[in-house]
Amino acid sequence: MTTAEYRILPAAMRLFAERGGTQIAVSDLARAAGVSRGTIYNNTADVCGLYDAVCDMIATEMAQSIDARLTGLDDPADCLSRIVRLPLRRVHDDPHWGRFIARYAMGEPRLGQFWRTTPAEQLRRGLAAGRFEFASEQVASITAASGGATFGAMTLILGGHRTWRQVAADTAELVLRSVGIPRDEACALASTEIDPLPRIDRFDAARH
């Protein structure tokens, strides 16, 4: 994306997260992004399709940024723990991102498609290695439940009910225990330190 798009789309995300709906006024977007209306039109192929563009941006960068954090990790249980916890830390670091997902995830398949890729791959790896215990045909159900638990946990952080560390550790431990990791080990894996994901408006710079 262009430099302008990396100002426009995160600003659109913030407005959608705050206001709801799938349409926003160009004047409001220009003000939020700190650019002119002309810049919006010159850098947006379809102003009416901004909601779709934001969903695509979030789905793409979430998958790429989480995959980057898993590079070099061999243990599928450790990977699964991080897959659950990284988005929850991101909610703490970038609440607008979290509010957008919390508002739209249940009705927008693109926001949940990540759970059918990397998490499913890690589950299959763990099952093949004897690290996990579940029936192979349960992969889709486990990824759906894990994604739902993670999205639901975001609301606890956004509402200020618990810290991201508490919520992330509890959710990751629950997911790990559901695939056969013993309680003490699941607790330990769910409590290791993790580096934050880059904020969405800094993601492109972080890749280079």
CATH number at residue 88: 1.10.357.10
The arithmetic mean of pLDDT across residues 138-160, rounded, is 95
47 found inside a domain: no
18 found inside a domain: no
Mean per-residue pLDDT over the chain, rounded? 91
Residue 10 has a pLDDT of: 92
Nearest-Å Rg of the Cα atoms of the chain is 18
Q: Which residues of 116-155 are buried (b: 16+ CB within 10 A; e: fewer)?
A: eebbbbbbebbbeeebbeeeeeebeebbeebbebbbebbe
Residue 69 has a pLDDT of: 95
37 found inside a domain: no
Number of domains in the chain: 1
**pLDDT at residue 204 tops 80:** no
Contact 32, 13 (CB under 8 A): no
The rounded distance, in Å, linking the Cα atoms of 13 and 125 is 34
Q: What is the pTM of this model?
A: 0.89
The arithmetic mean of pLDDT across residues 44-58, rounded, is 90
**pLDDT at residue 208 tops 80:** no
Percentage of the residues of the chain whose pLDDT score is greater than 70: 95
- DSSP 8-state secondary structure symbol assigned to residue 21: S
